[in-house]
Amino acid sequence: MTKRPLILISPNIEKRGAEFGDLSVSVSATYEQALLDSGALPLVLPATVSRELIADCISRCDGVLLTGGEDVEPRLYGKGLPPKLRRTVTVTPDGGVRDLRELILIDEVFRQRRPLLAICRGHQLLNVALGGTLVADISRQRPRAINHHQMDRCFEVVHEARLTRGSLLAKLTGKQKLGVNSTHHQAIARVAAPFRVAAVSSDGIIEGLELKPSAARLLPFLLSVQFHPERLADRHVEHRAIFRGFTQACLLSRKQ
């Protein structure tokens, strides 16, 4: 029997946990369930910024999942951000330590060449980590955009994304248009050099990234999405296919 691939999940940090009100590691069960249903075994990354420990965790795993959460610290991508825009940004309660942890995690993922799936905040931070920038607040900077901040409908399809023909996302889902949920107020602005757009909404907001063919050697698998497929995977086969494709890539990578 083939062992389930071990997937390292980047956790959120909550202001107040159930025990003593400490800062607490938090992961939505929907990520874990989507991975379990796809045949993987999830493991949560410890709350550390030790490169040695993070590297050790990655070395023991077959793939990495970057999750959603608060906004990326603007100093990482938007020098001189106007005060009005700065006030729209909600950074992590640990003072940006999560940003640092995940930047180290991303660097080690590329160094150790592990398959990577990045979701929502993870999608944005990945782009920043490789030199891209973000729209700090869609409603202020892209006033003609559709409503991408539909938190009360996080388990529902609320709009469509057009998939790039021949992209990894199109191949995995078998779709040219993909119905997605939408719970973000930030988005990709300038795309980092190694990436190409894999999906875009009708208003031009980038919904997916993947490696350019010329950069494909960097990782055995990379898919980055702005939406939350883990919240749709139990009812939509095309979103379930994203996790199954990722899991399969982790199995194949293990054998190489």
Instruction: Point out the residues that are catalytic.
Output: 120, 228, 230
Length of the chain: 256
Stretch (H or E) spanning 97 = helix 97-112
For 152-155, the CB contacts below 8 A with 24+ separation are: 153/181, 153/182, 154/181, 154/183, 154/228, 154/231, 155/181, 155/231, 155/232
240 Ramachandran zone, left/alpha/beta (phi>0; psi -120 to 50): alpha
Cα 34 to chain centroid, rounded: 14
Distance CA 196, CA 151 (A): 28
Burial of 165 (0-12, 13-18, 19+ CB in 10 A): exposed
Residues 62/116, Cβ–Cβ less than 8 Å: no
In the three-class reduction of DSSP (H, G, I as helix; E, B as strand; rest coil), residue 105 is classed as helix
The single-letter code of the amino acid at 120 is C
Q: Where are the alpha helices (DSSP H) in 202-236?
A: none
Show Cβ contacts of residue 142 under 8 Å, excluding neighbours closer than 6 positions: 135, 187, 203, 204, 205
80 CB-near residues (< 8 Å, 6+ apart): none
